[in-house]
Amino acid sequence: MTAPAVNLDTDLEAIVQNAASAFATTTTPAELENAKAQFLGKSGSVTALMRGMAQLAPEEKKTRGAAINRAKQAIEAALTARRQALKDAELERQLQAEALDVTLPGRQRGAGALHPISLVWERIEHIFASMGFDVANGPEIESDWFSFTALNNPPNHPARSMQDTFYVDMQGEDGQPYCLRPHTSPMQIRYASARARKYAAELARGETPEVRVIAPGRTYRVDNDATHSPMFHQVEGLWLGENVSFKDLKVTYLNFCRAFFETDKLQLRFRPSYFPFTEPSAEIDIQFQEGKNAGKWLEVSGCGQVHPNVVTNMGLDPERYIGFAFGSGIDRLAMLRYGVSDLRQFFEGDVRFLEQFS
C-alpha cells in the first residue's frame, strides 16, 4: 500500500509510511481498527502532533497544521483502502467456501410406482367390476368358522390340510380359534350372509336378489418355494342367483382371462377336482396359443358350484340359490402376465426388479 504523494515534513512522512505498513499487515477488520488507533486515536501519534501545535507561533501553526492535516488524510485514505481490501478478501473467502457447482445434476425425488401385484389386483377389480361384480374386503386374521367350518370343511376333516395355515394364539369373543386366512373364501360367507339379510326387502320390491362379488386380498399358507410363498394373494369370486350355472362360470372366467391378458388367443380347460365348499369342483387351466408359454396348460384357479351346505351357512335357501365360486392366485396371474418365473421376486423388494413395472 503506497501513501498518496504529498509534500510532508519527514516526521510526518515517516508516520504515514508506518501507518501504511501497519495497516498492510492486518488481516481482520478488528486488527485494522486497532492499528488505526495507534495513529488517529486519542493517544495516537497524529493526535499527539496536533496537541504539540499549541506552543507554535500563529504563522507556523498554519503551515504545520496544514501538513498534519494532509498526513491525516493520507492515513485515512490508506485506512479506507485497507478496509475495502479486507472486505473484498472476506467476500472472496465466502464465495470460495460456499461455492456451488451449478453444472452438477440436481437432486431428484424418484417417481414412485405401484407394485406389480397391486397393478394386477387393480386390473382384476376393474375387469370384474365391468361385469357387474361388487368388490369386498375382509379380515386377514379370520376365525376357524369362516375359514373352514362354514365352508363345509369341519374340524379334523382331512381336506383341511389342503389349506394348512398359521394359527394365531388367540380366541375370539365367538370362542373360535383364529388363523391367518388360507384363502379369501371366508368372504363368500361374510358377504353373502350380509346380503342375505337384505334379501327380504329386495324380494318384496319384486327384485331378483343376487350375490355377485369378488374378494381380493392377502392370504397365508405353510408353503415356500418358487411358485408358493407363505403370504400370497387370491381373488375369490362368487355369483349366486336363482339360475346361475356352470355355463355362466365358464363364460365369466373366459371373458375375464381375455380382458386380463388382452388376447383372444387362449383357451380354458376345466379339470375335475375336489374342494369341500363346491360340488362339483374343478381346476381351471389356461393355455395360450402364442407367446412364451404357448401350448402349455397352466393352472390358474380352483372353482365349482357352491355346495348346498355353504349356501345354507350363508343364510340362504339352497333349493332356491345356486351358483359358482372360484379362487384364483393373483400372484400366479401376475407371473403369467409379466413373464416372471419366480414368485419370490415379487416380495424381495429389489428395486431393479420392481422398477421394470413402473
Is the CB of 26 or the CB of 305 nearer to ligand PHE?
305
Q: Per CB under 6 A, which region of 8-16, 59-67, 86-94, 321-329 contacts ligand PHE?
A: 321-329
Give the x-and-dash track for 185-224 against ligand PHE (CB under 6 A). x---------------------------------------
DSSP conformation letters of 139-153? -SEEEHHHHTGGGT-
Per CB under 6 A, contacts with ligand PHE among 322-341 are: 325-327
Q: Does 275 contact ligand PHE by CB under 6 A?
A: yes
Spatial contact of 26 and 35, defined as CB atoms under 8 Å apart: yes
Which secondary structure element, helix H or strand E, spans residue 283, and what is its range? strand 278-288
- Taking contact as CB under 6 A, which single stretch among the options 19-27, 115-123, 124-132, 296-304 is the one that binds ligand PHE? 296-304
- How far from 282 is each of 10, 41, 146, 260, 326, CA to CA, in Å? 119, 106, 22, 21, 9
Contact pick of 15, 32, 303, 316 for ligand PHE (by CB under 6 A): 303
Task: Provide the minimum distance between the beta carbon of 192 and ligand PHE in the complex, in angstroms, as a whole number.
Answer: 13
Min dist. Cβ of residue 287 to ligand PHE (A): 20
Alpha carbons within 13 angstroms on the beta-carbon side of residue 41 total 10
Within 8 A by CB and 6+ apart from 284, the residues are 253, 268, 269, 270, 271, 299, 300, 301, 302, 303, 326, 328
Number of residue whose CB is nearest ligand PHE: 327
Shortest distance, position 336 Cβ to ligand PHE, whole Å: 17
Q: Which 3 state secondary structure label does DSSP give 64?
A: helix
Q: What residues are paired with 327 via a beta bridge?
A: 236, 302
Which residues bind to ligand PHE, rule: CB under 6 A?
163, 183, 185, 236, 275, 278, 281, 302-304, 325-327
